[in-house]
Structure 1
Amino acid sequence: MSEATAASRDTAADAAEQGAPAGELADRLEAHRTELTGYCYRMLGSAFEAEDAVQETMVRAWRSYDRFEGRASLRSWLYRIATNVCLDLLKGSRRRARPMDLASPSSVDTPVGAGLPEATWIGPVPDERVLASAGDPAEAAVARESVRLAFISALQRLAPRQRAVLILREVLSWSASEVAELLGSSVASVNSALQRARATLAASGDTAGEPPRPLDDAQQALLGRYVDAFERFDMDALTALLHEDSTLSMPPYALWLRGREDILKWLRGPGHGCEGSHLVAVAAANGRPAFGQYRADGEPWAIQVIDTADGRITALNSFLDTERLFPLFGLPLRYGGQAEEA
Structure 2
Amino acid sequence: MTQVLDADTDLDAFRGELTGYCYRMLGSLHDAEDAVQDTLVRAWRAAERFEGRSSVRSWLYRIATNVCIDAIGSRSRRATPLEIGGPSAPVETSLADVRAHEEWLEPLPWGTATQDLAADPAEITAERESVRLAFVAALQHLPARQRAVLILRDVLRWRADEVAALLGVSTASANSLLQRARATLAQHHPDDARPLDPLDARHQALLERYLDAFERYDIDAFVALLHADATQNMPPFAMWLRGADDIGAWMTGPGHGCRGSRLVPTRGANGSAAVAQYRRADPDDETAGHVPWAVHVLEVSDGRVGSITSFLDTRLFAAFGLPDSLPHGAPLPRPADGA
TM over 0.5: yes
| 1:273 and 2:257 matched | yes
Query: Could you tell me whether the CA contact under 8 Å between 2:322 and 2:338 is conserved in 1?
Result: no
Question: For residues 200-229 of structure 1, what are the alpha-carbon distances to aligned partners after superposition, in whole Å with 9 as ceiling and x for unaligned?
Answer: 122224459676454122111111111110
TM-aligned CA distance change 1:217 to 1:317, over 3 Å: same
- Aligned pair count reads 319
| 1:302 and 2:302 matched | no
| 1:82 and 2:73 matched | no
What SS is found at the alignment partner of 1:128? coil
Question: For residues 260-300 of structure 1, what are the alpha-carbon distances to aligned partners after superposition, in whole Å with 9 as ceiling and x for unaligned?
Answer: 11110000000000111111011111111111101133021
| 1:328 and 2:319 matched | yes
TM-aligned CA distance change 1:66 to 1:341, over 3 Å: farther
Distance 2:159 2:51 in 1: 22
Q: What does residue 128 of structure 1 align with?
A: 111
What SS is found at the alignment partner of 1:283? coil
Distance 1:163 1:207 in 2: 18
In the TM superposition, 1:34-183 aligns within 5 A as 34-109=16-91, 110-133=93-116, 135-183=119-167
Q: Which amino acid aligns with 2:323?
A: P
Q: TM-score, normalised by structure 2?
A: 0.89
Distance 1:105 1:265 in 2: 14
Structural RMSD (CA): 2.1
What SS is found at the alignment partner of 1:129? coil
What SS is found at the alignment partner of 1:95? coil
TM-aligned CA distance change 1:208 to 1:81, over 3 Å: farther
| 1:314 and 2:306 matched | yes
Distance 1:213 1:98 in 2: 22
Match of 1:217 among 198, 201, 220: 201
Q: Which has the higher helix share?
A: 1
Q: CA deviation at 1:118?
A: 1.7
Instruction: Give the unaligned 5+ runs of structure 1.
Output: 1-19
Q: What does residue 4 of structure 1 align with?
A: none
| 1:283 and 2:274 matched | no
Distance 2:196 2:249 in 1: 30
In the TM superposition, 1:19-30 aligns within 5 A as 21-22=6-7, 24-25=8-9, 28-30=10-12
TM-aligned CA distance change 1:148 to 1:329, over 3 Å: same
Q: TM-score, normalised by structure 1?
A: 0.88
What SS is found at the alignment partner of 1:32? helix
Query: Could you tell me whether the CA contact under 8 Å between 2:320 and 2:338 is conserved in 1?
Result: no
Distance 1:269 1:100 in 2: 21
What SS is found at the alignment partner of 2:162? helix
Instruction: Give the unaligned 5+ runs of structure 2.
Output: 282-289
Match of 2:238 among 254, 274, 286: 254
Q: Which amino acid aligns with 2:209?
A: R
What SS is found at the alignment partner of 1:317? strand
